[in-house]
Chain A
C-alpha cells in the first residue's frame, strides 16, 4: 500500500505536468500564461517547490535529536520570504532575469561574473539536493525495510524517469498542486495523531522527562556506526544472542546490528547527542552536540536561512512567472502566510516523536520519525493508511524540490558554463546530474537532512545574498567587487562546511563557526564586496541599471 501511495504521487505529478504542457501550444501561450497566474496561485507554487524533505521530515527529526530549539529552522525558512519580499522580489522580476547568473549579467554586464554565479548555483544545488535523496532513501528504508542504498537508487530512478518522460515541467499548476498535496498529507496525519495518542501521551509530550530508561521492550536497529557509553550495568540482547548484562564502559556498534533492550533497562549515551526530553533538550534554543553557545548557534542558523532563501536557484525562477514586479512582491508576501501555516505542524511530530520513539536517537534514524509515528500509535490498518499518506507526502516533497534543483543545476552547466544550448544536452546533463547526486547521497547516510540543507542556505547567504542586495540597492557596486566578494563568501562558507564534513567536527565554539559559518561568512562577503567596489569605479550606466529596477512597470 505504501509503495502504491508513492507510485500514485509520481504518476499524478507526471499526468498533471503532461496535461499542463499539452495545453500550451504556442510560444505566446507560454508567455501569456504568466500574466494570467494570480499571485496566490504563484505563491502556492513557490511554497510547493520550497517545502522539501528538510521541512517535511528534517525539522521533526532534528527536534527529536537536538531538542525544541530545532523549531528555529522553520522560522528561518519562513522568514526568508520577508527578506525576499523586502529586498529582492520586485526589482529582480523587473530585470527580466530568470536566474542569478542572468541577473549578474543584466546588472553588472560581466560574463565572468555570470560564470562564477553558475559555479555557485552548482554548489548550492548540490548541497541542497543530496539530503533530499538521503531523505527519500531513509523513508523507503523505514517503510519497506530495504537497505539504504536501494532506497537512494530507487529515488534516483524515480527522478530520472520523471525527467526523461518530460513530466513535471516548470508548470506552475504542478507545483501549486504539490503544495496542496503536501499540506494535506502533513496536516491531516498530525491532527489524527494528536487525537489518537490519548490525553496521557499529549500531557507527556508537553512536560517531557529525560529518556533514561526503556519503558517497554525496545529493539533498536542501528543505522550508523555508533559509539555507546554505558554508565550502569545494562541488560541487552545483541542480534539473536541471548540477553546479557553489559558492564559500564564504551561499546562500538556496527551499522545494521539490532540491540534489544528489556523494560527498565537504562538508556546508553551516544557521543555527540543528547537524550530526548532532558533539561537542555527542552530549551527553545539550538545547541547541537552541547557545544555550549546556544544563542550563537541559533543566530547562525537563522542568518543562513533568512538571507539564503533569496539565493536558492530553484525558487528565484518561480518569481518570473509573476506578471510584473508588483505581482512578484505579492507572491512573496502570500508565500510567508502559506509557509507559516505549514510550519505550525512539524512541532507536533517532533514532540510526539520524542515521547513515543525516543530510541531513534540511538539508532540514528531520527529523520524517519514522521513516517515511523503512525505505526507506533496504531498497529492496524489506520496506522498503515496514515504511514502511506506521510510517505507519499515525503516523496512529493522530495520530488518537487529535487526536480527543480536538478533543472536549475543542469541549466547552469549547459547554459552558463558551456557555450550554446540544446534541449537534448539539457536533458542529458540533468540525467548525468541525477546519477552524480545518487553517488553522493550513498555515503551521506549519517548527515542530518535539516543541517545539510541549512549548509546550502549558508552558501547562498554568503554569495548570492550580497550580490542581489547590493546589486539592487547600491549603484556603486562594481563587477570586480561582486566577483571578489562572491569568491570570498564561497570559499569561507563552502570551505568551512567542507572541513566540518570531511575532517570531522571540531569541539566547542569552533563546531558552530565551521558547521554553520553564516554568522561570520555573510558579513565577510558583504564587507569584501563593498570595500573592493569602493576602490574601483562603476561604469557610467550603473545608476541607470540599478534605478530602473525600482520603477513601477505601469507608467503614471
Chain B
C-alpha cells in the first residue's frame, strides 16, 4: 500500500481565508456573468415568494395553534379515542402538518430552479 502525504482538508472559504492571512492580499470579490446575473435575479425573486408562503403557513401553526388552544380550553374536555383533543393538537397534529409542509416546500423550491 502506498502511503499518501497527509493533506489538510478545508472548505473553500477556509482555504481562501488561510491563504489571505499568509499573503496579506485580499481575494477577488465574487462576480457573476451578465446572463447568470439575470437568471439569478429571477430565481431569487421566485424563491423568495415561495419561501414567504411556506413561512406564513409555519407561522399559522406556531403562532395560531397556541392562540386557538388558549381560546378554547373546552378542547381539553373533548376526547377522541380517550385522548383529549387539546393533547392531540400538540403531540401529533403539528408533525403531520410539518411533514406535509416540508414536502410541499421542497417540491416548489426545486421547481423554481428549473
Please list the residues of chain A having a beta carbon within 8 angstroms of any beta carbon in chain B.
25-27, 30-31, 68-69, 71-72, 75-76, 78-79, 81-83, 85-87, 90, 95-98, 102-103, 105-106, 109, 114, 203, 206, 282-285, 294-295, 298-299, 302-303, 306, 320, 326, 329-330, 332-333, 336-337, 340-341, 343-344, 347, 415, 419-421, 423, 473, 539, 541, 543-548, 550-552, 556
Contacts and interface: CB of A to CB of B under 8 A. Distances in A.
16 contacts: A27-B4, A68-B90, A71-B87, A71-B90, A72-B66, A81-B102, A85-B106, A86-B109, A96-B11, A98-B10, A109-B26, A320-B11, A347-B91, A547-B40, A548-B40, A556-B39
Nearest to A111: B17
Nearest to A31: B9
A95 B4 CA distance: 29
Contacts of B76: 282-284
A285 to B, nearest CB: 6
Contacts of A336: 98-99, 101-102
B48 interface: yes
Interface in B1-58: 4, 7-14, 16-18, 21, 26, 29-32, 36-37, 39-41, 43-44, 47-48, 51, 54-55, 58
Contact of B13 (A76, A102, A548, A551): A102
A303 to B, nearest CB: 8
B4 to A, nearest CB: 5
A541 B96 CA distance: 42
A20 B11 CA distance: 20
Given A283-B76, A344-B92, A547-B40, A337 B102 contact: yes
Nearest to A302: B62
Nearest to A554: B113
B97 to A, nearest CB: 9
Given A283-B86, A326-B113, A344-B95, A79 B62 contact: yes
Q: What are the 5 A-B residue pairs with the smallest beta carbon separation, nearest first?
A: A547-B40, A340-B95, A336-B102, A98-B11, A541-B29
A341 B82 CA distance: 22
Contacts of A341: 95
A522 B84 CA distance: 34
A98 B95 contact: no
Contact of A85 (B37, B70, B73, B105): B105
B9 A27 contact: yes
B70 A285 contact: yes
Contact of B7 (A27, A85, A473, A544): A27
Contact of B103 (A68, A320, A333): A333
A298 B65 CA distance: 10
A114 B11 CA distance: 15
Contact of A284 (B79, B89, B106): B89
A83 B101 CA distance: 11
A547 B32 contact: yes
B106 A329 contact: yes
A103 B102 CA distance: 25
Interface of A: prevailing SS: helix
Contacts of A556: 39
Given A75-B62, A90-B109, A320-B11, A550 B101 contact: no
Interface of B: 4, 7-14, 16-18, 21, 26, 29-32, 36-37, 39-41, 43-44, 47-48, 51, 54-55, 58, 61-63, 66-67, 69-70, 73, 76, 79, 82-84, 86-87, 89-92, 94-96, 98-99, 101-103, 105-106, 109-110, 113
A420 B7 CA distance: 15
B36 to A, nearest CB: 6
A126 B13 CA distance: 25
A86 B83 contact: no
A482 B30 CA distance: 19
B30 A78 contact: no
B70 A295 contact: yes
A96 B94 CA distance: 33
A299 B91 CA distance: 16
Given A320-B11, A539-B29, A544-B31, A294 B101 contact: no
Nearest to B26: A109
A235 B96 CA distance: 48
Nearest to B73: A283
Contacts of A102: 11, 13-14, 17
Nearest to A76: B62
A76 B110 CA distance: 25
Contacts of A79: 58, 61-62, 94, 98
A551 B110 contact: no
A82 B102 contact: yes
A338 to B, nearest CB: 10
A69 B92 CA distance: 13
Contacts of A105: 13, 16-17
A117 to B, nearest CB: 12
Given A79-B61, A343-B95, A96 B82 contact: no
Contacts of A294: 66, 70
Among A82, A102, A284, chain B packs the most CB atoms within 10 A around the CB of A284
Nearest to A87: B51
Contacts of B10: 98
A30 B83 CA distance: 50
B41 A547 contact: yes
Contact of A299 (B36, B62, B109, B110): B62
Contacts of B8: 423
Given A27-B7, A548-B30, A75 B87 contact: no
Nearest to B54: A86
